[in-house]
Amino acid sequence: MLKRFTIEEVAKHTAPNDCWIIVENKVYDVTSFLNDHPGGKKILSKASGTDATVQFKAFHNPTVLKTYGPKLLIGEIDTGVEEVKTNNEEEERSPLQVGETFGDMVPYGDPMWYQDWYSPFYNDSHRKLRKFMREFVEKEIMPYTHEWNEAMALPKELYEKAAKAGIMTAAGSFAPPELAPYGLPAGITREEWDTFHGIIVTDEITRCGSSGVSWGLVGGLGVGLPPVVSHGSDYLKKKVVPEVLAGKKFICLAITEPSGGSDVANLQTEAKDMGDHYLVNGEKKWITNGFFADYFTVAVRTGSPGAEGISFLLIERSMPGVATRRIYCSGAWPSGTAYVTFEDVKVPKVNLIGQENHAFRYIMANFNGERMGIIVQANRSARVCIEECLKYAHKRKTFGKRLIDHPVIRNKLAHMIRQVEATHAWMEILAYQSKHMPKEIQAIRLGGNIALCKAQATQTVEYCAREAAQIFGGLAYTRGGQGEKIERLYREVRAFAIPGGSEEIMLELGVRQSLKIAQLMNAKL
How many Cβ atoms from other residues are within 10 Å of residue 438's Cβ? 7
The proportion of the chain whose per-residue pLDDT surpasses 90, expressed as a percent, equals 88
pLDDT-derived band at 88 (thresholds 50, 70, 90) equals very low
Nearest to 223 by CA among 367, 338, 416, 391: 367
- Calpha distance 67→90 (Å, rounded): 32
Taking residues 36-55, report their average pLDDT: 89
Q: What is the pLDDT of residues 442-501, one digit of tens each?
A: 989 999 999 999 999 999 999 999 999 999 999 999 998 899 999 999 999 999 999 999
Mean of all residue pLDDT scores within the chain: 94
90 pLDDT higher than 70: no
| Parallel, antiparallel or unpaired: strands 73-77 and 270-273 | unpaired
Q: What is the pLDDT of residues 268-300, one digit of tens each?
A: 999 999 999 999 999 999 999 999 999 999 999
CA-to-CA dists, residue 352 to 84, 276, 288, 373, angstroms: 66, 11, 21, 26
- Calpha distance 126→425 (Å, rounded): 17
84 pLDDT higher than 60: no
pLDDT-derived band at 59 (thresholds 50, 70, 90) equals confident
Calculate Rg over the CA atoms of the chain.
26
Taking residues 420-432, report their average pLDDT: 98
Beta-ladder partners of 271: 280
Cα-based angle 472, 459, 106 (whole degrees, multiple of 5): 45
How many Cβ atoms from other residues are within 10 Å of residue 176's Cβ? 12
Q: What is the pLDDT of residue 91?
A: 61
Q: What is the pLDDT of residues 219-256, one digit of tens each?
A: 999 999 999 999 999 999 999 999 999 999 999 999 99
pLDDT-derived band at 58 (thresholds 50, 70, 90) equals confident
